[in-house]
């Protein structure tokens, strides 16, 4: 949460032209990025299309009317959500009111299942969506990771949604026992025109990626800095770079002195010889680039204990989950120490066998994701908008 967060209660602005064709709901920086690519392509095909969004700066730049910046208020974990319960309750109610009043032809939910699946269910219960007897089509882009945990969500998704577009080829089969139409639209990171945020160069600095949520960044960034300092003190030659996605995260980074560490805003490709990364989307970017590294993650202690109880996963990193092996060794909570992470940097920059193994894992990962798709997500969305009244 930031100081710019609106006071409660608040109202979302009306559509700029009094009507809207498509509402996009994308709650995180990665979802905002993926949704923005979709909207740019959609508006190139259909210049008359009116798009509004609960998202971030990417969607705004793509031509959507930004109703509220969800990327600046994104949190993860039960404890973190409870701290901001009043805000999210008000946002939820106001979003339902807005949809009920302005009736977009379709709503596209992008990832962010904690909010989006609840909105889909509420729209059905209120009779606004097609599945509830209404006229608004509910579409979902980027499936929750039901192949990793909470597989039962597929049945409520089939009940509430009209169609789903997935980015992992094997996800289509995950919904085979439901009536939900599911289509593989390709992984956005492997699109021909996609410019990756990172690349591998054995001569480049090491990369520190503390994440995109301010609370998570505040917990892990000082640990990453201490690990880099230990690595340098032990004879490591590489300086460091840290990528940040927003002004809010930049403000968090500035709380600590970071000699030998250059801060870079997302938007250009940053070369790296090794990486210490959070478990989110950027870890997959690094894996696809073949950068050797490790995952470091700390969350609220109560959130962690609850997650250990509820979620039974071998790994938290996306590449590790997909490969069923630790391409990136994971250091979680108390295991994420400067000493352990400095040792990982030394291995990643000095161990030829480690680099060779990472290269082989990168090739397997790209082969897994780089499968032919029937069309792009914009093609998929265009078809469903044409079917909407």
**CA dist 316 → 22, 62, 378 (Å):** 33, 31, 30
- 46-51-57-63 Cα dihedral, nearest 10 degrees: 40
Alpha-carbon gap, residue 158 to 317, rounded angstroms = 27
DSSP 353-388: HHHHHHHHHHHHHHHHH----SS-HHHHHHHHHHH-
Q: Residues 90-105: what's their mean pLDDT?
A: 96
124 phi and psi, to 5 degrees?
Answer: -65, -45
DSSP 271-318: EESEEEE-SSHHHHHHHHHT--EEEEE---HHHHHHHHHH---S-SSH
Tokens of 362: 């990168």
What is the crossing angle of helices 352-369 and 338-350, to 10°? 90
Alpha-carbon gap, residue 61 to 319, rounded angstroms = 30
pLDDT at 2: 45
Structure confidence by residue, pLDDT tens digits, 226-264: 999 999 999 888 899 999 988 999 999 999 998 889 999
Highest-confidence segment of 103-112, 241-250, 366-375: 103-112
Tokens of 334: 């108390």
pLDDT at 356: 97
* Homologous superfamily in CATH for domain 22-186+372-387: Glycogen Phosphorylase B; (3.40.50.2000)
Locate CATH 3.40.50.2000 in the chain.
22-186+372-387, 198-369
Lowest mean pLDDT, pick from 175-184, 309-318, 366-375: 309-318
Please give the CATH topology (third level) of the domain spanning 198-369: Rossmann fold (3.40.50)
Q: Where are the beta strands (DSSP E) in 70-212?
A: 106-110, 137-141, 163-166, 182-184, 198-200, 206-209
Structure confidence by residue, pLDDT tens digits, 191-201: 988 999 999 99
The reported pTM is: 0.88
pLDDT at 150: 87
**Percentage of the chain surpassing pLDDT 70?**
93
Q: Above 80 in pLDDT, residue 8?
A: no
Structure confidence by residue, pLDDT tens digits, 123-175: 999 999 999 999 999 999 999 989 888 899 999 999 999 999 999 999 999 99
Structure confidence by residue, pLDDT tens digits, 202-224: 999 999 999 988 888 999 999 99
């Amino acid at each position: 949460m930031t100081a710019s967060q609106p006071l409660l209660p608040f109202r979302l602005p009306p559509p700029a032209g009094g009507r809207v064709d498509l509402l996009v709901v994308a709650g995180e920086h990665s979802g905002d990025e993926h949704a923005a690519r979709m909207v740019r392509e959609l508006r190139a095909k259909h210049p008359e299309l009116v798009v509004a969004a609960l998202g971030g700066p990417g969607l705004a730049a793509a031509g959507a009317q930004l109703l509220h910046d969800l990327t600046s208020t994104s949190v993860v974990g039960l404890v973190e959500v409870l701290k901001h319960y009043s805000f999210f309750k008000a946002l939820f109610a106001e979003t339902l009111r807005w949809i009920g009043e302005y009736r977009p032809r379709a709503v596209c939910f992008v990832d962010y299942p904690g909010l989006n699946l609840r909105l889909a269910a509420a729209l059905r219960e209120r009779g606004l969506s097609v599945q509830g007897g209404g006229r608004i089509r509910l579409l979902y882009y980027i499936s929750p990771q039901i192949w990793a945990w909470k597989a039962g969500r597929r049945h409520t998704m089939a009940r509430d949604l009209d169609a789903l577009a997935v980015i992992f080829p094997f996800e289509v089969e995950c919904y085979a026992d439901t009536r939900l139409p599911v289509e593989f639209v390709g992984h956005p990171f492997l699109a021909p025109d996609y410019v990756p945020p990172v690349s591998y160069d054995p001569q480049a600095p090491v990369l520190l990626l503390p994440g995109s949520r301010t609370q998570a960044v505040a917990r892990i960034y000082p640990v990453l800095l201490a690990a880099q300092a230990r690595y340098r003190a032990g004879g490591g030659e590489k300086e460091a770079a840290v990528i940040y996605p927003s002004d809010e995260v930049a403000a968090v980074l500035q709380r600590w002195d970071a000699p030998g560490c250059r801060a870079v805003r997302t938007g250009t490709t940053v070369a790296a010889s090794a990486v210490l990364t959070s478990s989110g989307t950027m870890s997959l970017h690094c894996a696809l680039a073949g950068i050797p590294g490790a995952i470091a993650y700390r969350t609220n202690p109560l959130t962690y204990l609850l997650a250990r109880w509820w979620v039974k996963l071998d790994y938290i990193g996306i590449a590790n989950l997909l490969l069923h092996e630790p391409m990136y060794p994971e250091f979680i909570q108390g295991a994420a120490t400067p000493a352990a992470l400095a040792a990982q940097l030394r291995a990643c920059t000095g161990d030829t066998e480690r680099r060779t193994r990472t290269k082989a894992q990168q090739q397997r990962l790209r082969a897994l994701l780089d499968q032919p798709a029937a069309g792009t997500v914009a093609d998929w969305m265009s078809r469903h908008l044409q079917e909407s009244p």
